[in-house]
Chains A and B, each alone.
Chain A
Amino acid sequence: QVQLQESGPRLVKPSGTLSLICTVSGASITTNNWWSWIRQPPGKALEWIGEMYPSGSTSYNSSLRSRVTISMDKSKNQFSLHLNSMTAADTAVYYCARRSAADAFDVWGQGTMVTVSS
């Protein structure tokens, strides 16, 4: 059974950088899947942030591209999200997820609530 777990700080200062790690268990991160980050502001809909393929290819939401980096540590079976220049608008639950061969997100982490505040 594939499981994903997010970890990282819950509070980030304005203009700071968010760094989250997603640890994958039950499957190798080197399999033929895209590994994604998705967020959900309180009471709002889901927003795709970006994703990474084991080959190193990345794809980002154009609305965030200038501020986001996704990377992968195959030795630890983890992938990471870095989002800089954080503002209150970035306050959200951040999820990591696996995109299946059918291009749907079939496995999700539990999510971690990140608040941007001084």
Chain B
Amino acid sequence: DIVMTQSPDSLAVSLGERATINCKSSQSVLYTSNNKNYLAWYQQKPGQPPKLLIYWASTRESGVPDRFSGSGSGTDFSLTISNLQAEDAAFYYCQQYHGTPPTFGQGTKLEIK
């Protein structure tokens, strides 16, 4: 199985500032046939299901604010949240679907100062 490792486990960032969460996969999640990285990012708030934010490493899901951006390729990826708002406080997970089973990172807790 592909292991997804996120860093940091938690971070606290001030309102209006920028937060960056990293995700590293144990093997490449890039499909060379279509040059797409099968890497997604989710936001999860307490008592709610995960919400898809980003897919193909950098494509925002419909309705997701452009403050959320994804980058990276191969094995190293980042989720950046700019101009942090209070409602961005949540857990964030990366997930790969290059291979079966799809696997998730352990999660990163984002707190807003």
- Mask for A26-57, Cβ within 8 A of B = 1, else 0? 00000000000000000001111000000000
**Contact partners of A108 in chain B: CB under 8 A:** 49-51
Separation in Å of the B111 CB from the closest CB of chain A? 16
Task: Say yes or no: is B17 at the interface (Cβ < 8 Å to chain A).
Answer: no
Enumerate chain B interface residues (CB-CB to A < 8 A): 1, 38, 40, 42, 48-52, 55-56, 59, 61, 93, 95, 97, 100-107
Q: How far is the CA of A97 from the CA of B50 in the complex (A)?
A: 10
Q: How far is the CA of A31 from the CA of B97 in the complex (A)?
A: 20
- Mask for A103-118, Cβ within 8 A of B = 1, else 0? 1111011110000000
Identify 28 residue pairs between A and B in the complex whose beta-carbon atoms are under 8 Å apart, listed by A's number.
A45-B93, A45-B106, A45-B107, A46-B93, A46-B104, A48-B102, A48-B103, A48-B104, A59-B100, A95-B49, A95-B50, A97-B49, A99-B97, A100-B55, A102-B40, A102-B55, A102-B56, A102-B59, A103-B38, A103-B55, A103-B97, A103-B102, A104-B52, A104-B55, A105-B40, A106-B55, A108-B51, A109-B49
Enumerate chain A interface residues (CB-CB to B < 8 A): 45-48, 59, 61-63, 95, 97, 99-100, 102-106, 108-111
Closest to A107 in B: B52
